[in-house]
């Protein structure tokens, strides 16, 4: 059954049983005939029409009883409409929209719908918002669709673990505050890879900290995996990664076929905990190169007890630049597994899009030395050729910054935090920077809310970075409300329905009394 037919059937189930058995198959045939060629999902207008039609059918069925008990009838109608609106599918954005960076992203909204419920289509970017410190401020990973659709990456929220694995109190912290699992957009924005951190539960079994109800199909039955979700269909494919405890997707190959995932034996909270307090933790890991078409997993591990920290594909997809925790940089040729050591340049590689389009430079960040208050670190380059690398660009010039990746032969995109403007809103800007002279111009920005919700973990789809185009932001669409909120709204409607019932019944009684008296 097609997704379109399934959507129509779901809506037709809202009709009264008698109507359904008489009409549903006939209506389905007409709906499918009337749908334009290529339509893949129910449109918002069709949903409204069928919900209204179903409510109308319930009303006419209630007609006779309604004459006797107007209150109950009115209440039933109210309730049916409320419930129908609660379960009807949302509108489906146009998947064919252009993939330029919007000149502004939408702000935080607790009412944003989910990818799982209404996929947004190919995305231009994803980022994390919300600190969990305030009401209606739960951390979200937001996927920004090319067509202006914003959706919460519910898969990442469900797979999200605690960042601080060490503190027991922290682990018992309200699960709703959990950080979403790390995620990486494919170059064309059509898919997203989502990692996971497993922690050891009291009975010794690996178990991710989950938000809300556990969905058993979100992680493999046993062991570690990385999940890849199609943003047009919502379909999730999981790739098993063996016995590790932490999977971090860091880079997609430029053709979108291979996915590089850092696999560690310990989650970050334990890995970065001081060795003298946690001497027994296995801090080693390996790099998994997952062929997302065939599902084959290739294990890259240049040496024993390796502690990989980041990885980026070369422009031709044949090599990977990898860096370990000590900062040692090397390149791995995938065909023969050969490793070339590049020493310890003074930078930490930007995962994903670090490799310049001409293959000559690697992009990274140099941390502040702390020696000088003005030193906030800088954006640094390592040369893979005999030519000298461009000078390091101090981040204080742009505001607190993070490098995103290359946008051209000698230009990069960075994010930079900007203080409150006249409207009192702080923003994270996306800047395009010329690496030769450090000159920058703003291409987009993500607003925070009231200064307390800053966007982080920004990931822009590789193709969007490379095309380097910016367009006026399309009209935003936050999708249907999250299911829980819709159910609350339906419950409120039910309470209202009860009030309507009492008022209606009382009015009917007094009307009959008056008629009888007259």
Binding site for another protein (CB under 8 A): 19, 23, 25-34, 45-46, 49-54, 56-57, 60
Least separation in angstroms between residue 30's CB and another protein is 4
Q: Which is nearer to another protein, 52 or 513 (CB)?
A: 52
Least separation in angstroms between residue 28's CB and another protein is 7
Least separation in angstroms between residue 10's CB and another protein is 14
Q: Which is nearer to another protein, 49 or 255 (CB)?
A: 49
Least separation in angstroms between residue 471's CB and another protein is 32
Least separation in angstroms between residue 25's CB and another protein is 4
CA distance 431 to 443: 6
Sheet holding 308-313, edge to edge: 308-313, 319-324, 329-333, 339-341
Sign (positive or negative) of CA dihedral 58, 27, 120, 261? positive
Q: Which is nearer to another protein, 19 or 245 (CB)?
A: 19
Sign (positive or negative) of CA dihedral 336, 337, 341, 346? positive
Asked if 304 and 285 count as a contact pair (C-beta separation under 8 A), the reply is no
Q: Which is nearer to another protein, 87 or 273 (CB)?
A: 87
Least separation in angstroms between residue 90's CB and another protein is 18
Q: How long a stretch of residues is the chain?
A: 518
Residues 6+ apart with CB under 8 A from 453: 108, 129, 130, 131, 137
Least separation in angstroms between residue 117's CB and another protein is 22
Q: Which is nearer to another protein, 31 or 378 (CB)?
A: 31
Q: Which of 197, 191, 193 is nearest to 224 (CA)?
A: 197
Asked if 206 and 223 count as a contact pair (C-beta separation under 8 A), the reply is yes
Q: Which is nearer to another protein, 50 or 115 (CB)?
A: 50
Asked if 365 and 380 count as a contact pair (C-beta separation under 8 A), the reply is yes
Least separation in angstroms between residue 213's CB and another protein is 33
Distance of CA 322 to the CA centre of its chain: 25
Q: Which is nearer to another protein, 57 or 455 (CB)?
A: 57
CA atoms within 13 A on the CB side of 490: 19
Q: Of all helices (H) and strands (E), which one includes residue 397?
A: none
225-230 and 206-207 beta bridge pairing:
unpaired
CA distance 366 to 376: 9
Residue in the structure block whose two tokens are 């010039």: 397
Least separation in angstroms between residue 49's CB and another protein is 4
Least separation in angstroms between residue 82's CB and another protein is 18
Q: Which is nearer to another protein, 42 or 363 (CB)?
A: 42
Least separation in angstroms between residue 8's CB and another protein is 9
Q: Which is nearer to another protein, 49 or 282 (CB)?
A: 49
CA distance 414 to 402: 6
Asked if 299 and 332 count as a contact pair (C-beta separation under 8 A), the reply is no
Q: Which of 487, 490, 405 is nearest to 125 (CA)?
A: 405
Q: Which is nearer to another protein, 42 or 435 (CB)?
A: 42
Give me 399's structure tokens: 């505001």
Find the angle CA(233)-CA(256)-CA(336) to the nearest 5 degrees: 140
Least separation in angstroms between residue 112's CB and another protein is 28
SS (H, E, C) 39-103: CCCCCHHHHHHHHHHHHHHHHHHHHHHHHHCHHHHHHHHHHHHHHHHHHCCCCCCCCCCCCCEEC
CA distance 1 to 7: 10
CA distance 179 to 132: 9
At 63, give phi and psi (nearest 5°).
-45, -55
* Cross-strand bridge partners of residue 110: none
Q: Which is nearer to another protein, 27 or 153 (CB)?
A: 27
Q: Which is nearer to another protein, 54 or 431 (CB)?
A: 54
Give me 417's structure tokens: 């935090």
Least separation in angstroms between residue 3's CB and another protein is 17
CA distance 43 to 211: 30
Question: What is the chain's Cα-based Rg?
Answer: 27
Q: Which of 386, 387, 366, 380 is nearest to 438 (CA)?
A: 380
Q: Which is nearer to another protein, 61 or 302 (CB)?
A: 61
């Amino acid at each position: 059954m097609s997704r379109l037919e399934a959507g129509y059937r779901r809506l037709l189930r809202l009709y009264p049983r008698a109507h359904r058995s008489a009409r549903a198959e006939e209506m389905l045939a007409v709906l499918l005939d009337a749908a334009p060629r290529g339509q893949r999902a129910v449109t918002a207008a069709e949903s409204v029409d069928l919900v209204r039609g179903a409510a109308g059918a319930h009303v006419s069925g209630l007609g006779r009883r309604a004459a006797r008990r107007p209150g109950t009838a009115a209440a039933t109608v109210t309730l049916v409409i409320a419930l129908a609106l609660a379960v009807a599918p949302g509108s489906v954005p146009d998947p064919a929209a252009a993939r330029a960076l919007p000149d502004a992203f939408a702000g935080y909204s607790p009412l944003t719908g989910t990818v799982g419920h209404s996929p947004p289509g190919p995305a231009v970017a994803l980022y994390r918002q919300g600190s969990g410190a305030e009401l209606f401020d739960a951390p979200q990973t937001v996927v920004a669709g090319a067509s202006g659709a914003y959706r919460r990456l519910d898969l990442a929220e469900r797979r999200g673990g605690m960042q601080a694995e060490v503190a027991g109190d922290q682990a018992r912290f309200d699960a709703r505050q959990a950080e979403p699992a790390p995620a990486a957009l494919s170059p064309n924005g059509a898919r997203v890879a989502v990692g996971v951190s497993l922690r050891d539960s009291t009975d010794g079994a690996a178990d991710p900290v989950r938000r809300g109800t556990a969905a058993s199909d979100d992680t493999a039955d046993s062991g570690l995996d990385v999940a890849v979700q199609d943003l047009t269909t919502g379909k999730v494919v999981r790739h098993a990664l063996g016995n590790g405890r932490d999977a971090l997707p860091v880079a997609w190959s430029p053709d979108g076929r291979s996915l590089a995932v850092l696999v560690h034996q310990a989650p970050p909270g334990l890995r970065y905990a001081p060795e003298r307090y946690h001497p027994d933790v296995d801090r080693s890991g390996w790099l998994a190169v997952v062929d997302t078409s065939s599902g084959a997993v290739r294990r890259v591990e240049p040496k024993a007890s390796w502690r990989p920290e980041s990885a980026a594909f070369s422009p031709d997809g044949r090599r990977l630049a990898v860096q370990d925790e000590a900062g040692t940089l090397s390149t791995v040729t995938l065909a023969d597994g050969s490793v070339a050591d590049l020493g310890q340049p003074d930078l930490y590689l930007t995962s994903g899009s670090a490799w310049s389009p001409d293959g000559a430079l690697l992009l990274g960040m140099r941390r502040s030395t702390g020696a000088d208050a003005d030193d906030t670190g800088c954006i640094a380059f390592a040369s893979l050729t005999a030519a000298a690398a461009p000078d390091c660009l101090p981040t204080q010039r742009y505001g607190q910054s993070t490098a995103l990746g290359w946008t051209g032969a000698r230009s990069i995109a960075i994010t930079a935090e900007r203080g409150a403007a006249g409207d009192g809103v702080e923003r994270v800007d996306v800047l395009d920077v010329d690496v030769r002279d450090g000159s920058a111009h703003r291409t987009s920005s993500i607003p925070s809310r009231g200064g307390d919700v800053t966007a982080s973990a920004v990931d822009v789809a590789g193709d969007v970075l490379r095309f380097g185009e910016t367009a006026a932001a399309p009209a935003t669409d936050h999708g249907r409300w999250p299911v829980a909120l819709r159910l609350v709204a339906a419950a409120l409607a039910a309470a209202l329905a009860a009030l309507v019932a009492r008022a209606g019944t009382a009015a009917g009684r007094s009307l009959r009394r008056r008629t009888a008296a007259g």
